[in-house]
Amino acid sequence: MGNDKLRSTRTRWGVLYALKEDLRLAWALLKDPRVPTWVKVLVPGLALGYILSPVDFLPDIVPFLGEIDDVMVFLLLLRLFISLSPEYVVQEVEARLRGVSPPSPDVIEGRYRVVDEK
């Protein structure tokens, strides 16, 4: 019964829950030495530069829309940071954050195609 309540809370607050998980993942990736330094510098630097820049997609004078572009750029750069990080590191850190064992490095995933040689 407790899991059902947790699951319904996650569905109700799905976007915020996913944002929280992405922020936790990005923070852990930022501290991980296996993520390239250029990713750690470039993406947060772009975010900081956009926020501090006087140029906006939508001017901040417009009451509600002025802040939406800042939030959207932040979310896009958050996803960019995660996608530019090495996939095996992302999978390992996600598994660690969820409290499960990371995928085994001995497993090789791939696709195959059977070619009929007639």
User: What integer pLDDT is reported at residue 101 of this predicted model?
Assistant: 75
User: What integer pLDDT is reported at residue 85 of this predicted model?
Assistant: 92
- The neighbour count for residue 27, using CB atoms within 10 Å, is 12
Residue 7 reports pLDDT greater than 50 = yes
Half-sphere exposure of 50 (CA within 13 A, CB side): 19
Q: Tell me what percent of the residues of the chain surpass a pLDDT of 90.
A: 14
Q: Is residue 46 very low, low, confident or very high in pLDDT (cuts 50, 70, 90)?
A: confident
What's the pLDDT tens digit per position in 51-78?
787 776 666 676 777 777 778 888 888 8
| Collapsed DSSP state (helix, strand, coil) of residue 13 | coil
Residue 82 reports pLDDT greater than 60 = yes
User: What integer pLDDT is reported at residue 1 of this predicted model?
Assistant: 46
